[in-house]
Chains A and B, each alone.
Chain A
Amino acid sequence: MLLRASSDAIDAGADVHGAVGGATGSVPHGGLLMAYAEAANRDPEAARALDDDVIAAVGEAGLVDAAVIVAVFNGLVRSADGIGIPLDDTMLAATADVRSVLGLDSFAGAANNPG
């Protein structure tokens, strides 16, 4: 939801399919950032092979930003799954279409939500 909302705020035209490895729309360097996120999550050491490309695209500070976001969300997802956090009511309603399209309702945590 925040990807779509923040993209709409600047008419950036993000494609939410980027969340599941698909098209990223017109997010600048979206494909590279998505590839970095995937690599950083699956094999942090291997992800370093993308450092130069990421720096060339978004600068050193951009690389640090991307790494920080991967890192902090690795804590957040474990908080959510470990505690069984149900989606907030507003989020549950606002993301129904996206969750269906992207197949997120098949994740184990979907069972923590009503309906």
Chain B
Amino acid sequence: MAVAGTWWTATERVAIVAATRRSLPLPLGEAAPDIAGLSDAVGSDGLSPLTHEVVRRLAVDAGRITRDWASAAIERMGQGHYVETVALVVQTVPIDLLCDLLGRSRQDLPVPGTGEPSRVVPDGLGQEGAFVPWAVDGWFGPNVARALSFVPEDNSRRMAVVTSMYSGRHFEEMVWRHRALSRPQVELVAARTSAVNECFY
């Protein structure tokens, strides 16, 4: 997180994590700003109002993301910056939330390193219905595992978090004995979480 990514610098990455933590739902009745009207001029924290709104939507209002909204955001930010922003938000929220639920302090933000983003688009991507291209060549596995393959290093880190927190090496097994809750108990909590967040997938 504290090193340059594929599209964002280390300073920008840490700023996105900080913005994720500060994100709040809009007051009841207040309409979300139009992506097209938001400035892309960088502010004092290194992020633009456009990036801040994308982070906010992902962090606290993701269930209302539509293809039109995402297309507008991607058109303005670029595919790489958008996907890496998603990657940073989805690596931050679970760890912070776990700390909150267990009454632990959140991790301190790291000091950003130096270096330039690689800006490398991986080979083997294709458009298959998601908002952005993802791995298609030789792909075998659930769509969620390749969701952020436009930024493969962050996607790997994210999936390591998912594997560690969710299934370990036991995803294909319907009977779990490696954790305190049974698999039906785990899947009940997971299903309720997905529905509360209005997530179709």
Residues of B with C-beta under 8 A to A59? 180
* Contact between A44 and B101, CB atoms less than 8 A apart: yes
* Contact between B162 and A64, CB atoms less than 8 A apart: no
Most A CB within 10 A of own CB, among B175, B179, B197 = B197
- Interface residues in A66-114 by Cβ distance below 8 A to B read 66-88, 102, 104-105, 107-114
- Identify which of A28, A68, A74 contacts B182 (C-beta below 8 A): A28
Residues of B with C-beta under 8 A to A110? 200
Q: Is the interface of A mostly helix, strand, loop or mixed?
A: helix
Residues of B with C-beta under 8 A to A105? 200
B33 at the interface (CB under 8 A from A): no
Residues of B with C-beta under 8 A to A44? 97, 100-101
- Identify which of A19, A73, A80, A111 contacts B147 (C-beta below 8 A): A80
Given contacts A77-B63, A81-B201, contact A29 B185 (CB under 8 A): yes
Q: Is the interface of B mostly helix, strand, loop or mixed?
A: helix
Residues of B with C-beta under 8 A to A71? 93-95, 97-98, 101, 165
- Minimum CB–CB distance from B69 to chain A (whole Å) comes to 9
Task: Assign chain B's interface to a size class.
Answer: 35 or more
- Identify which of B89, B128, B180, B195 contacts A104 (C-beta below 8 A): B195
Q: Please, could you name 14 A-B residue pairs with CB atoms under 8 Å apart, sorted by A?
A: A2-B174, A44-B101, A65-B185, A67-B101, A73-B193, A77-B194, A78-B62, A81-B63, A81-B201, A84-B67, A84-B129, A102-B195, A108-B200, A112-B67
Q: CB within 8 Å of A: which residues of B?
A: 58-59, 62-67, 70, 83, 86, 89-91, 93-95, 97-98, 100-103, 128-132, 134, 142-144, 147-148, 158, 161-162, 165-166, 174-176, 179-201
Known: A20-B195, A85-B147. 8 other contacts (CB 8 A): A5-B174, A41-B197, A62-B185, A71-B93, A74-B197, A77-B193, A78-B58, A78-B62
Q: CB within 8 Å of B: which residues of A?
A: 2-3, 5-10, 12, 14, 16, 18-21, 24, 27-30, 33-34, 36-38, 40-42, 44-45, 47-48, 58-59, 61-62, 64-88, 102, 104-105, 107-114
